[in-house]
Amino acid sequence: MLILFFFIILGFSASFSQTQPSFPLIKYKVVKFDNYAKLNSFLREFNPNVNKTKYRVLTTLNRKELRFFRPKQPIILPDTFLDDLRVYSVFPLEYPGAKFIPKLIVVSNVYQAYACYEFGNLVRFAAAITGKKSTPTYPGRYSLQWRERLRISSFNESWIMPFTWNFHRLTGSAFHQFEMPGFPASHMCIRQFREDAEWLYNWGEGPKRDSTGKIIPMSGTPVIIIDFYDFINFPKKWLELESNQQKIDYLPPDPMKVEEALMPIEHIPPELRSMIPKKERIRYETAFDTLVARGVIPRSLRLRPSNSLKKKD
């Protein structure tokens, strides 16, 4: 029970291990521009039609699309641009605790990023935009549930979400493409750039079925969210990195022993709450108080209750 929250505490300390990756050392610096004229001049070489590699690296490192860059805001800039984005990963290239797991997704709210592993080897690193303060993305263990090539939100028909991979069936939490502003902004989901969303859509695996055709719970690709974002100080830890050799060092020793995510019942649409198994109901009802008691979230956090689902005509 306590293993997950031990790693959350370490996550806030933002401690790192210095590793010797097989990739070359790449150093980072932070730049700022006083006005739009200087900023736009700088960004021209990062236009995807001019240099796709530079575009992908810059937007991934800063966790945002070019249209969200602003004067006087810090921009992290590497001294080398390479096609393989794993070079810039804040996750280790090897994850010993996952060496027997065919596929695993690890997400960091603190660093707004995720990693995909195959038998403990990093195969993908990507930027992420996770949940905002009132609808956060909670730490814990999940699994991929179902996917949809082009999803229209059940809450708001204006939310078009390509390459959706749901990882919590009752809340609708999912990986998908959506705008990337460079800070936590989603409705409990994990937003991605299009290239990453499409790749994950094809790579991930949904739940398996038993001999009777019944879905086996938690049998899709495991998703481990290892920490919680600090909504009091709103740090951007990804902009504080000095090189690509700084790696998160608080991955759980055994990801499959991480506790299933605690989900406050406020985030379940009212008409879906009857689907919560009776033996799990109390866990949802007490999740907020449990998370507060464990120091994961502050008591002052005001959650946005889930609206009813959009009715189809």
- pLDDT exceeds cutoff 50 at 12: no
**Residue 284 included in any domain:** no
According to DSSP, residue 154 is labeled: S
Which residues lie below 8 Å from residue 292, measured CB to CB, with a gap of 6+? 298, 299
- pLDDT exceeds cutoff 50 at 18: no
**Residue 239 included in any domain:** yes
* Beta-sheet pairing, 190-192 with 173-177: parallel
77, 81, 85, 90 alpha-carbon torsion, rounded to 10°: -40
pLDDT, residue 309, reads: 57
pLDDT, residue 239, reads: 98
29 forms bridges with which residues in the sheet? Answer: 77
* Three-state SS at 2: coil
pLDDT, residue 310, reads: 56
pLDDT, residue 155, reads: 63
**Residue 250 included in any domain:** yes
- Residues 138-193: pLDDT tens digits? 999 999 999 998 887 766 677 788 999 999 989 889 999 999 999 999 999 999 99
CA proximity to 6, closest of 156, 213, 228: 228
- Residues 75-85: pLDDT tens digits? 999 999 999 99
- pLDDT exceeds cutoff 60 at 203: yes
Domains contained in the chain, number: 1
pLDDT, residue 308, reads: 66
**Residue 283 included in any domain:** no
CA atoms of 250 and 253, how far apart (whole Å) = 9
- pLDDT exceeds cutoff 90 at 108: yes
**Residue 209 included in any domain:** yes
- pLDDT exceeds cutoff 60 at 311: no
CA proximity to 173, closest of 150, 200, 146, 149: 146
- pLDDT exceeds cutoff 80 at 313: no
| Phi-psi category of residue 261: left, alpha or beta, with phi > 0 → left and psi -120 to 50 → alpha | beta
Are the C-beta atoms of residues 224 and 144 closer than 8 Å to each other?
no
The domain that holds 212 is classified in CATH as 2.40.440.10
pLDDT, greater one: 11 or 25: 25
- pLDDT exceeds cutoff 50 at 121: yes
pTM equals 0.91
64 forms bridges with which residues in the sheet? Answer: 181
**Residue 72 included in any domain:** no
pLDDT band at 245 (very low <50, low <70, confident <90, very high): very high
**Residue 247 included in any domain:** yes
Instruction: Count Cα neighbours of 183 within 13 Å in the Cβ-side half-sphere.
Output: 12
pLDDT, residue 6, reads: 44
- pLDDT exceeds cutoff 90 at 10: no
- Residues 32-66: pLDDT tens digits? 999 999 999 999 999 999 999 999 999 999 999 99
Q: Which domain holds residue 94?
A: 3-23+89-261
The pLDDT mean for the chain works out to 91
Are the C-beta atoms of residues 153 and 93 closer than 8 Å to each other?
no
- Residues 246-292: pLDDT tens digits? 999 999 999 999 999 999 999 998 889 999 999 999 999 999 999 99
pLDDT, residue 20, reads: 42
Strands (E), the chain: 16-18, 28-31, 75-78, 104-108, 113-118, 121-127, 140-143, 146-152, 160-168, 173-177, 190-192, 222-225, 246-248
CA atoms of 250 and 13, how far apart (whole Å) = 10
Q: Quote the tokens at residue 54.
A: 């530079």
**Residue 297 included in any domain:** no
* Three-state SS at 281: helix
Residue 272 dihedral angles phi and psi, to the nearest 5°: -105, -5
